[in-house]
Amino acid sequence: MANVTFKNNPVTLLGKEVAVGDTAQDFTVLANDLSPVTLADSKGKIRLISVIPSIDTGVCSTQTRKFNEEASTLGDDVQVLTISADLPFAQARWCAAEGIANLQTLSDHRDLSFGEAYGVVIKELRLLARSIFVIDKDDKVTYVEYVGEGTDHPDYEKAILAVKELTK
């Protein structure tokens, strides 16, 4: 299991750690209108999944804005998803205030289905650990980053490069 800290304190991640080459596991999360969304809903697209602890924090906000900007340059074959355990209403409010329109925010608050399938549930906080997953059109995981310290930024450039490699 990935070793992760949050504010320099070790945390326990629940679920199965994902590795490059794995078949992406399906999950059910909620869209901002409370409708269910699964991995299968984006079958045939390249998916960049940006996972954040909470949309209302500085690093998470920056991460979401950064991937929103990048999403507009990646083409129609790429879907960018941001998943957190925030309530869908909070995600919708934040996106409206920030003008986020190029990615979809999704909530894992109800079942932690995504978090358990991808090994990112922080047991002690019931939040998701900061991480990035890139999944190709055939549901193979091609890039994984479990950010070692939950308050640090992910490697944006490597994640975007991993997506661009699949669009060639």
Give catalytic residues, as residue numbers.
60
DSSP for the chain, written as a single string = ---EEETTEEEPEESPPP-TTSBPPP-EEE-TTS-EEEGGGGTTSEEEEEE-S-TTSHHHHHHHHHHHHHHTTS-TTEEEEEEESS-HHHHHHHHHHHT--SSEEEE-TTT-HHHHHTT-EETTTTEEPPEEEEE-TTSBEEEEEE-SBTTS---HHHHHHHHHHHH-
